[in-house]
Amino acid sequence: MGASEELDLIAKVIDVGDLRPILDAGITTDRYRDPEARAMLQFIFKYYKDRRTCGNVPTREMLEKRFPTVDLPPESRITLDATVEEFINFDVQARLQMLAAYIDDNLHEPGEVIDQVTRELREMARQRRTSRDVILAESLAGPRERYEQRKNKQELLGIPLPWDILNEETQGLQPEDYWVLYGRPKSMKTWLLLYIMMHAYDFASRRVLVYSREMAPELILDRCICILIGAPYEAFRKGTLNEYPHPMGGTMEDAFYNLLDCAVMDERTCILETGFKKGLIITTDRDDPRSPISVAYPRSSSRMKFEAWTISATC
């Protein structure tokens, strides 16, 4: 496979502004053969994970300035998913050609050739179906990148949390993480969960889904808005936001109305500038009698009622 297919994928990623299809397909720098294309992909991954630019993809102008000797293909009408599929096909074709050359050069060792061909074909089939299997000898660039990301304190592997000390210990909310906030009623579990979610929404421009069986979606939305503007919920509930000053000037009421007026445009601008579909969705099915989901509270030895919120992440 030549560098053109590798650069085609890089160009499409920066033009669309979305790295997730590459991550979902399991494409890493291990699959890149051209040194300059590999360096460009490494830079995109690093930019995407940096705490200051988390979740964003660099622009074509930024990449061309950083790699002036590389000519990126022009924009095309082919979708990103189609470009990912083309890359995977070309990758397999290139490996098959290398395998054919190996067979031709080693016909005098049929037993060794059969073993090698079997291993290669099995690995190609695994990668073609984007399996999560990891082969040590063929995946050494991955651990190197992950270690260097951890060494570089400016980078996170997951969605950033509101607290630096927790980011240091966890590297953020990782893909497929499942966190449980567990405690007695009225112990601020809901506020803590929503504070984490609003940080992911506002700071990291992530798409957040909140599902609740207990609290009405409208009440959750009111709390989310208060967290976003930094206002006490009690003031919102009593209609006295105008009595509280806002750190950026004016009152909390001014910030509240400004958020309502600008939220839709802010999300649209985020998509255009970063490709990241920032959004907040709040849902419940507690009024649906057909819902199979229920909430069961575990028993404790002290006979006190405990409740739990859970958090999962896709980066």
* Domain ranges across the chain: 3-149, 164-312
Torsion region of 11: left, alpha or beta (phi above 0 gives left; psi -120 to 50 gives alpha): alpha
Give, as one character, the DSSP assignment of residue 207. E
pLDDT tens column, 163-194: 888 888 887 888 777 888 888 888 888 899 99
All residues at 6 or more sequence positions from 58 whose CB lies less than 8 Å from its CB, including other chains: 14, 43, 44, 47
pLDDT at site 295: 46
pLDDT at site 31: 79
The mean predicted confidence, pLDDT, of the chain is 79
Rg for the chain, CA atoms, rounded: 25
What is the pLDDT confidence band of residue 229, given thresholds at 50, 70 and 90? very high
pLDDT at 276 over 70: no
Tell me the backbone φ, ψ of residue 216, rounded to 5 degrees.
Answer: -65, 145
pLDDT tens column, 46-77: 888 776 777 788 888 989 899 998 888 888 88
